Amino acid sequence: MSKLNLNPRLVLIFSLILFGALMRLVPHWPNFTPVAAMALFAGATLQRKSVAFIIPLGAMLLSDLILGFHSYMPAVYISFILTVIMGFLLQRRLQAGYIAGAAVASSLVFFLITNFAVWLGSPFYSQDATGLLACYTAGLPFLRNGLAGDLFYTGVFFGSFYLAARWIPAINKA
């Protein structure tokens, strides 16, 4: 019988991402989800860039198959692709201040991109600066929830990873 040799670091990373995908399916406040934190975490911890994109976006796609699709999905996925890229920038700066700043930045990117898409594609807003401002104003409660969720789940992902790495030294090895 051959022994299956699992890399503890990858097992932990994939387990946290799976947890994030599952948490998206449980009832939650609007926009209080782990998706941005999952994308940021994947970008910051996975060495292979292609895997850093595929795993969180794949997890999101699978959960979208259950939750359903909408016309603004491209904007949502683009914002999470940008969040993975922010995670790449964190790889050498895994410190609380940088991580929290990236979580806030990812919330703002998501808010700006998705609300712009809503304004652009919705008949509810006039296609001028007034309509755009009205759209962003209407989205502020979702920004508040998204920011709270992103900070909370970013703390869960990176905090769990940090604590596990202290208890299991093999996790620190790339």
DSSP 72: T
Task: Name every residue whose Cβ is closer than 8 Å to that of residue 105 and which is 6 or more positions away in sequence.
Answer: 86
Q: What is the pLDDT of residues 100-144, one digit of tens each?
A: 999 999 999 999 999 999 999 989 999 999 999 999 999 999 999
CB 139 within 8 A of CB 118: yes
Average pLDDT, the chain: 88
| Number of Cβ within a 10 Å radius of residue 63 | 17
| DSSP letter string, 149-160 | HHHHHHHHHHHH
Task: Name every residue whose Cβ is closer than 8 Å to that of residue 34 and which is 6 or more positions away in sequence.
Answer: 19, 20, 23, 24, 149, 153, 156, 157
Percent of the chain with pLDDT over 90: 52
Q: Which two tokens stand for residue 153?
A: 């789940």
Task: Name every residue whose Cβ is closer than 8 Å to that of residue 103 and which is 6 or more positions away in sequence.
Answer: 36, 37, 40, 150, 151, 154
Among the listed residues 167, 118, 161, the one whose alpha carbon sits nearest the alpha carbon of residue 139: 118
Q: What is the pLDDT of residues 67-108, one digit of tens each?
A: 888 888 899 999 999 999 999 999 988 899 999 999 999 999
Q: pTM value? A: 0.85
Burial class (CB within 10 angstroms; exposed 0-12, middle 13-18, buried 19+) of 174? exposed
